[in-house]
Amino acid sequence: MANRFKGHVLLWITVILWGVSFVATKIVVEYIPPVSAALIRFLIASIFLIIFVKKRIKYSKKEFLFLSIAAFFGITAYFLFENTALIHTTASNGALIISTTPIVFLIFSDIVKRKFSNKIRYFGTLIAFIGVAVLVFNGRFILDLNPIGDLLMFGSVISWVLYTVYLEKLHHYDNLPVTKDLNILGMIFFVPFSLIEIVRSTSEIDFSIFLNFNAVMGLLYLGIFCSAVGYIFWNSAIRLVGAKTTMNGIYFIPVVTVISEAILLKTIPNLFTIIGAVLVISGTYVSEMKGKKAI
């Protein structure tokens, strides 16, 4: 019981950190191209983790392969797909597609394990997804299909599912050094993509970012709190409460984003925002609490 409570606390902290991250990302990408910004973000995270996490792990060849696959999909591929997709599709489409991750993972996990979850868990997950849809569209149901961008965004969904699957294969190791190694490998995998972006870019990186307080704070927040601390807490939550429960936390990220925008930008949430948030909370509750009782 104590471990589950700790897992839920870590999950909620991560959701809050990642929910606010969109504000910091918007500031940073005004100065640095998206892929290079991601590289710098995980470089900061890697340096932070190298300084504070001294323990090392001696992986077998098979385990190192699992680690590399998890790092590539959970860090490099995820952000490459997401950042590229948002060039071709709308933010609303992107947010909605990313919110299918818990459902996709639930189906994928059940197929692989050949043991299907209780129907009530599926029902609760679907209700939470509908809540995210209400939140994203905010009363304006305009589904603007963008095949290339939408397919790329689904690439992010699949990447996060594969990250979770391969991460679970390393749960017998201490979470801190595993997360450190994941960040370092993910950062290294970004290097060739960043070089390609720089070569193809018609504009130069605006180095004045390092003189801009908000931009620097944004980078530090993304690197230290979202990438280093966030991944540590998320990975710990998976160990403590399970991957399916942790995945449902994704539904709350848009809710946190809306709340943070209301606080920082002083916007008043409308009726659709409130209804969406209630559906997300209710659906997650049904999935977790009712699903367990019915099993």
Q: Tell me, what's the pLDDT at 161? A: 93
Q: Tell me, what's the pLDDT at 105? A: 87
CA distance 180 to 111: 31
pLDDT at 255 over 90: no
pLDDT at 252 over 70: yes
pTM of the model: 0.83
Is residue 220 exposed (0-12), middle (13-18) or buried (19+ Cβ within 10 Å)?
middle
CA dihedral (66, 183, 12, 251) positive or negative: negative
Q: Tell me, what's the pLDDT at 153? A: 83
- Residue 207: band (very low, low, confident or very high) from pLDDT cuts 50, 70, 90: low
- 156 token code pair: 């992010």
What ranges do the domains of the chain cover?
A: 2-117+145-241
Percent of residues, the chain, with pLDDT higher than 90: 37
Least confidently predicted of 11-20, 163-172, 194-203: 194-203
Each residue's pLDDT tens digit, 36-56? 889 999 999 999 999 999 999
Least confidently predicted of 125-139, 176-190, 221-235: 125-139
**Cβ(173)–Cβ(56) under 8 Å?**
no
Residue bearing the bigger pLDDT, 216 or 68: 68
Q: Tell me, what's the pLDDT at 294? A: 44
Most confident of the ranges 30-34, 181-185, 291-295:
181-185
pLDDT, the chain, mean = 83
Each residue's pLDDT tens digit, 259-276? 766 676 566 666 776 777
CA distance 45 to 53: 11
CA distance 69 to 166: 7
- 256 token code pair: 């946190």
pLDDT at 219 over 70: yes
Average pLDDT over residues 19-28: 76
